[in-house]
Structure 1
Amino acid sequence: MTGITSFSYSIAALAFLLLTVLLSTTWRGRAHGRALSLAAALTAVSNAVLAWQALQPTPWSVLTDSVEIVHNGGWSAFLIILIGHFQDKDSRLPMRLRPSLVLIVLFYLLFFGATVLGKLEFEFLTETGLMPSAAARIGVAVLGMLLVEQLYRNKPEQERWAIKFACLGIGGMFVYDFYLYSDVMLFHRVNPDIWAARGAVNALTVPLIAASVMRSASWSTELAVSRRIMFHSAALFGSAIYLLAMGSAGYYLRYVGGSWGSVMQVTFLFGALVLLVGILFSGSFRAWLRVFISKHFYSYNYDYREEWLRFTGTLSRAGPGLGDRVIQAVAALVESPAGLMWVRRESGLFEPAANWHVAPATASEPADSSFCRFLDSKQWVVDLHEYQDWPAKYDDVPMPAWLLDYPRGWLWVPLMMQGRLFGFMLLMAPRSAIKLNWEVIDLLKIAGSQAASYLAQYEAANALMVARQFESFNRMSTFVVHDLKNLVSQLSLLMSNAERHKDNPEFQQDMLETVNYSVQKMKLLLQKLSRSVAPERAAALSIEHLVKQAVALKAGFQPQPVLSVTDQGLTVLADRERLERVVGHLIQNAIEATARDGQVGIELARRGAAVLIRITDSGEGMSEEFIRERLFKPFETTKSAGMGIGVFESQEYILELGGELAVTSVPGQGSSFTIILPLLKHQAHQVHEAHEAHTINQAACVPKDLR
């Protein structure tokens, strides 16, 4: 394997040497060319040293580890430069990237120290000397993979095509190192096949890196790492370092503990793992880490895009509990674990409206109190800790007496709505100390105003829903009154004609039918007013029978309506009682609008796949302006005792059935109301087939010379 290993690493050295030459000559001036040239040159030297060392009696030495540390450090530095950006006037990295470089340098120094110490004290091929070096190399591989992930994830979609091959190439080297040294940690020996193939694998990454260099003109240097990614990466990187350190400590416990070594190692590692899980799931630790990252890695405390998306997403989430979500969204901006909220009511008090992770409040605050007037006029965020030390800064305004019930209270956040105090919020002390500068205070003010608008909209929606419920009830009552008015009109007309026609057997029969119809109608009205009644359901019904019944009920009126049926057997899908009320109402309107010696006619016919019901009269008629602006509007009427909702209700139901209600009228000459309803589907299909057959028959009868 010695010759194969040397040949493998020699290929890698030549490949990276070629890449270095291209970067120094043909590709000179490419984006980040110097950093990439340096990393490629270090890799070429490292592989050359490894190829030479493979031919020596002792293939591993301090020199081997040193050159590997240098070339891995070169690639890590190159990735850091791509993740960050240079300033315009000089080549120094901005302040927000210096902590990253410091951490990486310290890590590589730790790695180098552990490796050299292992070489000086132990033989590399012995188990005791192998483990520290392998663990440190796994740490380097994890660091490299994290940097590649950071680079690719934070690139915009349109720029990833230019950087993806470099990420695959550089990441591939770190992934293979992770695989190699994980195998070493698992089997306590270096696999010679995996070690020998490492050089060839590194050589295969050169074309990928070269492909990205060709696209380097599109590499963006204005890349910013989001706080969320930095938070998770820092937690993952810290966990990896912690586990490596604990693993190394447990490894040494195994050898210094004698017969108790294995027990001590397992116990120690389990305790370390439990401690790590406890820290990662600690809210205080997460809050501290977020604050630390924002303070030391970024010039601004917040990533406003992510914060605003989270804030609005929390407020606009469907479901109840908007008040709790408002507190949660605002509290998250300052890492507060709990809070309370008060909202102004019509009583003139700011009453408790919501609570989050704290017992609900019971005390209210008058809107005219000194505290509320201060918040209303100043619109300040009040820091209670600062208030205790310097009350004059807040005009010595007295705090509410019930504030003593909340010793952990920290911030008063006003909720302003159109320049007026809509409510206020009390946030509890954060898990990690947060400095309230102008940026944090301004963000809290804006968030408070946004939250107030959501709360006002929510309360307005609730008030509108209640108003609509009352409107629905009033509308139903109006329709009921309208139907009762029609029944009273029919019974009044019946009583007025009874004196003259009471001895007429036909009148007596009509009177009994009219009274029976009125009783049935009133029973239906009572059922509608009952909550237990089932909803109306449409059914197939004979339109001819329905119209005949509606006309028969108006037979006692003058002028008496006359029905003309052109097509029989027509069927529609509708609710019988509602459609009968529509037809009856239009006939009643025609009778009332026509003199006793006038004419009222009803025509029933088929129009294609629809039914036509036309009600005409020779009455007073209507103007075009009245038809256009008033006829179909509720509560608009020309009758002294009318409700003005009959035609409106008729049109609403006809449209609901998929039909049409048309009106034509000439003042002084009369009106015509035309109802068009779709036929039942199977009947409409039969009409269509009959029409086609009729057309074919007509065509067949035409002489050939005329076709």
Structure 2
Amino acid sequence: MLTTNIVALSYAAAAAAFFFLSGLLLTSWRGRLHGMVLTVACLLSALWAATVAYQATLGRPISLLTDILEILRNAGWTAFLVMLLGPLRQTEVLSPPRVKPAVVAVTGFYLLLFLVTLYSYEGLGTAPFGAMASVVGRGAMAVIGMILVEQLYRNTPAKQRWGIKFACLGIGGLFAYDFYLYSDAMLFRQVSPEIWTARGIVNALVVPLMAVSAARNPQWSLGISVSRRILFHSTALLGAAMYLLVMAAAGYYLRFFGGNWGPVLQVAFLFGAVALLLIVLFSGTLRSWLKVFISKNFFSYNYDYREEWLRFILTLSEDGHGLGERAIQAIAELVESPGGALWISSESGDCELVAHWNMPLAGGIEPVNSPFCRFLENQQWVMDLQEYDTNPEKYAAITIPQWLRAIPKAWLVVPLIQHGGLFGFVLLAQPRSRIRLNWEVNDLLKIAGRQAASYLAQQEAANALLVARQFESFNRMSTFVVHDLKNLVSQLSLLLSLTEKHKNNPEFQKDMTDTVDFSVQKMKLLLQKLSSGTSDEKSAPLPIENLLQQAVAAKLADTPKPVLEIQDPGLEVFANWVRLERVIGHLIQNAIEATPRDGQVLVHLARQDESAIIEVKDSGHGMSEEFIRERLFKPFESTKSAGMGIGVFESREYIRELGGQLEVTSSQSGGTTFRVMLPLHRQDQAVERVA
């Protein structure tokens, strides 16, 4: 019983191996007639091994069907070798004029062997002469196969043997083992059970050798193309099925040898095995590895470009997350990267972080004219940061920004090129499975970066157009406000002139006159500003300390009262007093409104190098990172019911106009700090402005 089980397992392994190789030939590799014959030979070998395993499982002896399938299997491999020898121009034994007669002779031999095999089974296997003739004939088949393998290898040019040597080893191994088996049978007048049993395992071991040669010679295979997705799911399904079969067998033996605990252990083991399978199947790392493995080993190119490009465009076009995050995701999925971040060049002359996807620790600002950005723009290369660490000369030994090197798991920098210029760049995290960056991957990332840049540039243009239209609408609204105010001023002026006729109640008239006069003057001033649209006041050197004192004093009536700290007095900046006071006052007012009555608002002035640093700190509820990035500096976006949403936007624009910067740091429930950096005024700057 034990020997029968071993025979069944040995030949079942051979059948599974040949069926798997046949499936690969039919689904993934491409070719013509050679591939058809190779596939038929593999299928015949699989059917023969499966038949032997089936009969061994039932405990039956070798039947006529098994012997016929063995002859057909050997005929298939012989036909494949003859077809490979046919195109050779020079051979020592089988030159082209002799190929056709040789084929006829081999075919006749196989027909004769087929008849001898039929005769050996006459009378239910009682023809000893026929049985021995059949054994001799099969030994002769093995000799013919070995001769063909030797001729194929010897007559193949040395430079081309790389592609066939493993096939010669595999097929030659099959025929060599058969010769050993039947030589032993002729010597001892019977087939050795041990050698026969091991024959299945030997057949299974040579399948990988044939698979390697088939991969190196795609012209052997059929011209059928199956998508990577089908092959991916088929491979995953096959692996899951094999895993479940092994686990079921293990569970059976646990039940058999486990005694009283056997059924309990079997159920627990099978449940754990199924749970582990589900975890593995839903593992992003395993799926990524399997995709890369299939692309590397079964396809000429790493990508199915049609499928990848459709997925790329669909990711960019779908709704949901912002376009920046979708662009990162679309590029990252090309190289199995789990996350990334996006920087886009802004009007300030810096590449600023605008979006991140599964990379929350990314951050930093890089000037567009820095060596790093100039290299990306001029070379348009995909930078491998790990390769840079080992070979910086390849990237002209440029200096990688420190903030970029500090980002965990940073891997690739993909430039976004728009009209020959650097629109921005994407930083990708290290992939789930190892990706070899070759010309194909680099070219695909470059093209994807250009496509993503066009989408992002279109969005930037659309946003700019929207802002322009909003400003146009705001100006149109101002025109109507001016008209209404003009009418109101006229009415109030008329009322003021009429009140002079009613002097019976001097106190009442005085209060009314003061009130109306104040309203008229205020509305006239507003009317003047709205009508002109610009201020006549010009920029000049001003003491920033005095301006802050005036801005803080204007807010002392509010609660909490702002506190002013002057660390470095006597600093001067070149700006317009009214506009800069309005900017600082707006930041202070926002801090007061965001802080509870028992909180604190602090205005701090200090010097840092050649800049005046104004910090407006509060202990209010703070803002989220998403709000700061997407809404804080966006015009016409306001969280106030009566706000117009242009205060912070106008503040940043004027500070940039002065050559400074406005930064904000905040955390929810941790307060907010606005940091205004203005260049200090020097006498030589004043001379340059006058000149």
TM-score by length of 2: 0.42
Q: Which has the higher contact order (CA 8 A, sep 6+)?
A: 2
Higher alpha-carbon Rg: 1
